[in-house]
Structure 1
Amino acid sequence: MPIPSNGWGAVETLIWNQKIYCEALGHTVDILNQRGLAPALAAKPWTYDVVHVHFDSLTEFWNLLSVHLDFKLVVTSHYGYAAFPRKWGTGYMATFKSLMESERLIVLSEEILKVFQRKGFKGVIGVLPNGTETKQFLFKKDALLKSAICLGRIEIRKGQAEIAKKILTKRNMVCDFVGPADSIKFKVDNKHVRYLGEWDRAAVHKNLTNYSCLILFSDGEAHPLVILEAMAAGLSLVISKEASANLDTGQPWIHLCESADEAVEHAEQAIRDNHLYREQIRKYAEENFDCSVIAQKYIEMIS
């Protein structure tokens, strides 16, 4: 997938923003977006102060390379279930073993940090949340639509089909679904549940602020970028506990839910109350998750 992504590559978007904001702080940042030994050697990783790998399935490869070529390596896993070992597949179990053998890790939440600590990680490890470019998102003091949005790739883990089914049963609210649908099917009535297809990045930046709340009823997230983007646009949050990493869940505009029924009920309230909090939500995103804030912490962490 290209970097920067014009569509649904959250990690690619994060990498690009990290580059731009670190360069604004006076650092030189290059991106390698190819696999294999030849591209890795051509990039001359030993000439950099630090190499940061975001593709965790290549951890073993880069660990070995850093030993043989003597360069400082940091690895980050963006695996959605990283904080939830009971949900790991066999593929990630092998990746986790390599991560445990790394010298330096940057993880996306305290919950993920605790997993590595419990497993006995012996290297250097720190927590750095994801960031978003707040100024890229149009912000309106009042939502144009008294409705919710589910934004992101439509997949079983994120529970969109279950949410759609509950909304169609109750018919008390409107929710738009935006993102690649792949093989996941769900019913729409084009009144309460609407599927709008895919948006490019420009459409996300422009359209997200039209909504009152974001619904993310996921059973596993590391630190979802879509939540930061929704806050930058002024939306209230209706999310599962598994999607709440790094958030102050005591905020009145953050609604935690344990079931699809709860999610729909909380969304109805969030839509009603969103106008009370939009400026507060935007400010919270700017102060805690803007790329300018995260980039400074990042430089301090890897120095």
Structure 2
Amino acid sequence: MKIALIAGGYIPTPPLSNSILTLIQDYKYVLEQMGHDIDIFNSKQVDEVIDKINSNSYDFVHLHAYEFVRAFNENLKQKYCFSCHNGYFLKKNRWEKDFKEGFKHYLNAPGIIALSHATKDIFLKAGYSGYISTQVNGIDSQKFDFQEQGNNKAICLGWIQPRKQQRLLAEIIDGKIPMDFVGPLDDHDFVEGITTKYLGVWSLKQVYSYLTNYSCLVLISDGEVAPLVVLEAMAAGLCIVVSESASANLHSKDFIRVLPDDILTNATAENQKVVCDTIRELIEKNKFFRREIVEYARENFNFSAIIKNYIQIIDEFSKVDH
């Protein structure tokens, strides 16, 4: 098959990466290994992208940029599927103006590939009547180094910004739990403490190599869809402490703990204790679960496990009477 994968013109400056681009590039690699012909389009010039797709014959087109949906609906000559990665997608009261205005166009997309059952339900409850299916995000677990023991420290990996609440997390755990923060600094109120250290930005290669040094990943964000970093951490053997928003597609496991989205903003003494106790407990548990965590990640989120469903979605979509 000839397949087009479209991003929204993400051009991060090294060593910065973009999770959507990482996901799309991994799809390209795996699908090409299966013998398919994959083109990635990553430009902000939507008209040029549409012209290039229209001038070729693709068996399947998958759009990962919500900014392009209206133009795709109006000008793309073939049917396509759309996936939405907006961090606040599940929280309508947090939608920005452009996203709110664009949502009606999303409902006119010929096909939707939702990243979780919760995102699928949002579309269905809004009245979407086209083809819709669910495909979890995936990882290439072979890229991640693995060592038998972690360093008894937690890590918070990703853009440091208000939505992800790292500043609040750091304030609560400082002096109690050792935690490193890694990622672009986009919250100027974030400060290091006694046990909360900022290590700067890692390249993807460093992520694949360094994550396994840690015992627990923490992501208590108030808005996520299906964060790739959670899957990456499990592929490296880490226990997981996440907010409800960041828990998409995860199962009930001893090495996964889900906390309320507002546990950091509603920082009562009791809630602060829950956060610290939970992270401390999962760091300790990590000593006994590392290999099981890696196997869980491989069985449920490795591309070898999820690509069959993706191919089935393409097959189903191609047979729909548009």
TM-score interval w.r.t. the shorter chain? over 0.9
Who is 1:301 aligned against? 313
Q: Alpha carbon RMSD of aligned pairs, Å? A: 1.7
* Aligned residue pairs, count: 295
Q: 1:45 to 1:165 in 2, by over 3 A?
A: farther
2:123 is the counterpart of 1:116: yes
C-alpha distance in structure 1 between counterparts of 2:238 and 2:37, whole Å: 35
- Match among 280, 287, 307 for residue 268 of structure 1: 280
- Alignment deviations for residues 4-47 of structure 1 (CA, whole Å, 9 cap, x no partner): 98533000000100111111122111011122323431343551
1:275 partner SS? helix
C-alpha distance in structure 2 between counterparts of 1:147 and 1:200, whole Å: 20
- What's the % identity of the aligned pairs? 35
Who is 2:71 aligned against? 61
Who is 1:208 aligned against? 211
Amino acid at match of 2:66: D
C-alpha distance in structure 2 between counterparts of 1:292 and 1:4, whole Å: 30
Conserved? CA contact 2:15–2:201, under 8 Å: no
Query: Structure 2 length as normaliser, TM-score?
Result: 0.88
1:234 partner SS? coil
Segments of structure 1 that go 5 or more residues without pairing to the other structure are: none
Who is 2:176 aligned against? 172
2:257 is the counterpart of 1:255: yes
- Match among 285, 304, 313 for residue 292 of structure 1: 304
C-alpha distance in structure 1 between counterparts of 2:123 and 2:117, whole Å: 10
1:84-233 equivalences in 2 (<5 Å)? 84-143=91-150, 145-168=151-174, 171-189=175-193, 191-233=194-236
C-alpha distance in structure 1 between counterparts of 2:124 and 2:197, whole Å: 43
1:31 partner SS? strand
C-alpha distance in structure 2 between counterparts of 1:184 and 1:246, whole Å: 32
Q: 1:127 to 1:4 in 2, by over 3 A?
A: farther
C-alpha distance in structure 1 between counterparts of 2:20 and 2:302, whole Å: 16
Amino acid at match of 1:246: N
C-alpha distance in structure 2 between counterparts of 1:172 and 1:300, whole Å: 48
- Match among 76, 81, 87 for residue 74 of structure 1: 81
Amino acid at match of 1:251: K
Who is 1:245 aligned against? 248
2:191 partner SS? coil
2:155 partner SS? strand
C-alpha distance in structure 2 between counterparts of 1:28 and 1:5, whole Å: 27
- Alignment deviations for residues 53-112 of structure 1 (CA, whole Å, 9 cap, x no partner): 11111100011123xx2x121111101121222322222112211110111010101001
1:172 deviates by 2.0
Amino acid at match of 1:266: T
- Alignment deviations for residues 221-250 of structure 1 (CA, whole Å, 9 cap, x no partner): 1100000000000000011111111000x2
- Match among 22, 26, 33 for residue 13 of structure 1: 22
Q: 1:301 to 1:45 in 2, by over 3 A?
A: farther
Who is 2:39 aligned against? 30
Q: 1:120 to 1:4 in 2, by over 3 A?
A: farther
C-alpha distance in structure 2 between counterparts of 1:203 and 1:281, whole Å: 20
C-alpha distance in structure 1 between counterparts of 2:137 and 2:204, whole Å: 17
- Alignment deviations for residues 181-219 of structure 1 (CA, whole Å, 9 cap, x no partner): 024332213x40100000001110000000000000011
Amino acid at match of 1:22: L
C-alpha distance in structure 2 between counterparts of 1:6 and 1:251, whole Å: 33
Q: 1:33 to 1:99 in 2, by over 3 A?
A: same
Conserved? CA contact 1:150–1:175, under 8 Å: yes
C-alpha distance in structure 2 between counterparts of 1:141 and 1:13, whole Å: 26
C-alpha distance in structure 2 between counterparts of 1:111 and 1:263, whole Å: 25
C-alpha distance in structure 2 between counterparts of 1:45 and 1:295, whole Å: 27
1:47 partner SS? coil
Segments of structure 2 that go 5 or more residues without pairing to the other structure are: 1-9, 265-271, 316-322
